[in-house]
Structure 1
Amino acid sequence: MSKPVSEHYAALGLKSDATLADIKKAFRQKASQFHPDRNLDEDAPARFRAAQEAYDVLSDPDKRQAYDDNRRRSLLDDPADTAREIWHHYFQPFLKH
């Protein structure tokens, strides 16, 4: 099984059609929320770094295009893993009720 691609859009709470303004706004919110100096939760530093990495990729048009291309390729390369991930993240919570 291949290593999953980091989900930069999810790190910022965005959909893949987000504008640059959306990306900047979401980054500022996440950076403020998870900055280690302000948030003492154990996972705050990792979530802060994930937001920084997501912003670095998604705010650069060339890096974003390469990232989006890789996401599409990953979806097509391993559809069974993609289907399992979609099921787990999107549908499973509805079945628990």
Structure 2
Amino acid sequence: MKDYYGLLGISPDAKSEHVKAAYRKKAAQFHPDRNPAPDAAAKFRDVQEAYETLADAERRKAYDDTRRKSLLDDPLVVARELWGNYLGNIQK
């Protein structure tokens, strides 16, 4: 499961305006027209997917419920993913 909060660099309790601001920042950073990196388009799509999920109240609730369940099912996998996203955000 992708960590949409990590992709946008926000906390799970972020308000909708923070989700939107983080999306705009990341979208500008990874937009293929502005970023020539080979993986920019894929990162842009991931950021878009994260925003579409977290900006919609129903989709966000479903995502949060699934995320909580996955934390209980396999916490090591989730911890590795969160740590990877954290390190990725620091290096940028």
**TM-score normalised to structure 2 length:** 0.83
Write the distance in 1 (CA, Å) between the matches of 2:78 and 2:25.
Answer: 29
For 1:79, which of 75, 82, 92 is the aligned residue? 75
Question: Partner residue of 2:20?
Answer: 24
| CA deviation after TM superposition for structure 1 residue 79, in Å | 3.2
Indicate the percent of aligned positions where both proteins have the same amino acid: 49
Question: Partner residue of 2:30?
Answer: 34
Write the distance in 2 (CA, Å) between the matches of 1:89 and 1:80.
Answer: 10
Q: Gaps (5+ residues) in structure 1?
A: none
Q: CA, structure 1 residues 47+63, in 2 after alignment: closer, same or farther (shift >3 Å)? A: same
Length, aligned pairs only:
85
Write the distance in 2 (CA, Å) between the matches of 1:18 and 1:8.
Answer: 12
**TM-score normalised to structure 1 length:** 0.79
Counterpart mapping for 1:1-97 below 5 A? 5-82=1-78, 85=80, 89=83
Following TM superposition, the consecutive aligned residue runs of length 4 or more in structure 1 with deviations greater than 2 angstroms are 79-83
